[in-house]
Amino acid sequence: MNTWHRGIKGFKSYREYEIMAGNERVATAASSWLFLDLARRKVVKVPKETDTLYGVVSAMALGRDIEAWRPDKNLVPEESMEIITRRSDYDMLGHVNNAIYFDYLDTLLGNRLGDGFGVRTIAIQYNREIGRQVQRIRAGLVKGENGACAYTIFDDSGVYACGDIVLA
């Protein structure tokens, strides 16, 4: 696995990732991070020394800038399913671990498409945490063209995450 710091811009820092199997790149990812002042409980500008500390590599693992991507936060799914959160879904900070969202999506796709599906690409935008007090959420999907789908993970209080999937 390779990872690198792509630099900072205002309140965000960017990290890129690639997973290799020998000389073949088999997976890529990109993330943007906010810096928080926990004492004041607010977002703060990324320290300038971050670039010096980590070094900057401008290459984009995905071949595109993730800031240009905008999922549909107001997606109305064609159908949705209820998912009951489990005790094991929560991390030590008291919210659903980010990786668990992919379990929820796998459950949604399996429910909608059966077992014969594959995923070529997936993009997710985390909008807000699913806290311990949340016991039931919904996951919904809208199928597009050429294997593209849009999805949302939500409840009556709003959207927790949304994004796009391209099926293989």
DSSP letters, 68-82, are G----TT---SEEEE
Tell me: do 102 and 144 sit in the same domain: yes
Structure confidence at residue 41 (pLDDT): 84
User: What pLDDT does 36 receive?
Assistant: 85
Let me know whether 10 and 43 are in one domain.
Answer: yes
Q: What's residue 48's pLDDT?
A: 85
Same structural domain, 57 and 84: no
pLDDT of residue 79: 86
What's the token pair of residue 10?
Answer: 């205002």
Quick check: 122 and 108 in contact, CB under 8 A?
no
Residue 123's beta-bridge partner residues?
164
How many degrees, rounded to 5, is the angle at CA 81 between CA 79 and CA 84? 165
Give pLDDT, residue 24: 94
Over residues 18-37, the pLDDT tens digits come to: 999 999 999 999 999 888 88
CA distance 89 to 103: 10
Q: Taking Cα atoms as reference points, which of 99, 109, 111 lies closest to residue 147?
A: 109
Chain centre distance of CA 105: 11
Residues lower than pLDDT 50 in the chain: none
Residue 135 and residue 92 share a domain? yes
Q: Which domain holds residue 129?
A: 79-167
Q: Which of 13, 43, 68 is the last residue of a domain?
A: 68
pTM: 0.81
